[in-house]
Amino acid sequence: MVVVRVRSVRYLTVAAAIPLVGVAAEQEVGDALLGDDVGDVVRVDHHRRQLEADLRRAIERNELELHYQPKVHAVTGETVGYEALLRWNHHQNGSIPPSEFIPIAEETGMIAEMSLSIMHQAFTAARDWDPALNLSVNISPWH
């Protein structure tokens, strides 16, 4: 979700049309005609569309990584399990936070395939652990 401050009716009208026009608005109309404020919206939309395409490729190529954060008993300090945390190291932009790519996956329906992949990776890794350790995997309710 992108939150946009509305400064005028013209701004709101053009900003509302951008998702319909997509990247073509940026190429054909350009920032000069839309003005700086709406140009920012076009750039955000273009960035989001690019991230969506890159995320789709990353899922297909298994480029998303699981990191395992230890869960520690508060009293004894012993490790009782691990939580699987999904990370994306983008080939050009570096680390993309889950707060940025998970909503895209949920909105586009990619979350189901991503969730299956995460579970498969996590369960495969945990198979070799001490059976006394537990595993936590966060799954989105949006699939």
Tell me if the pTM is above 0.85: no
Half-sphere exposure of 61 (CA within 13 A, CB side): 11
Each residue's pLDDT tens digit, 65-107: 999 999 999 999 999 999 999 999 998 889 999 999 999 999 9
- Which has the minimum average pLDDT: 23-37, 41-55, 85-99, 128-142? 23-37
Is residue 71 a contact partner of residue 81, using CB atoms and an 8 Å limit? yes
Mutual angle of helices 111-126 and 98-108, in 10-degree steps: 120
Is residue 131 a contact partner of residue 85, using CB atoms and an 8 Å limit? no
